[in-house]
């Protein structure tokens, strides 16, 4: 039987991402959308959490793991 429950590490990551989105991204997303860019401090915080490098190609300093 497949278990879809998050383990402790996955749960902690999910909580951290949710908190980041609610506390940092939600406050600035409308302005970022209208201006076509995100504030540098929000991007830096995403990097610190390890959220952004996976979607950035290795050639530009990311992990290059995003598969579409």
Q: What is the pLDDT of residues 29-68, one digit of tens each?
A: 899 889 888 888 888 888 888 777 666 777 776 776 655 4
Choose among 21, 15, 9: nearest CA to 45.
21
Q: How confident is the model at residue 4 (pLDDT cuts 50, 70, 90)?
A: very high
27 found inside a domain: yes
Q: Are 48 and 59 in contact (CB under 8 A)?
A: no
Residue-level pLDDT at 58: 75
66 found inside a domain: yes
Residue-level pLDDT at 65: 66
Domain interval for residue 40: 20-68
- The pLDDT of 17-24, averaged and rounded, is 92
Give CA–CA dist 54/42, Å, rounded.
16
Residue-level pLDDT at 18: 94
- The pLDDT of 21-32, averaged and rounded, is 91
Query: In the chain, how many domains are there?
Result: 1
């Amino acid at each position: 039987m497949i278990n879809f429950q998050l383990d402790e590490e996955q749960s902690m990551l999910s909580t951290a991402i949710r908190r980041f989105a609610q506390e940092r991204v939600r406050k600035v997303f409308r302005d970022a959308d209208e201006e076509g860019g995100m504030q540098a401090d929000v991007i830096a915080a995403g990097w610190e959490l390890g959220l952004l490098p996976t979607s950035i190609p290795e050639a530009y300093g990311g992990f290059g793991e995003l598969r579409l």
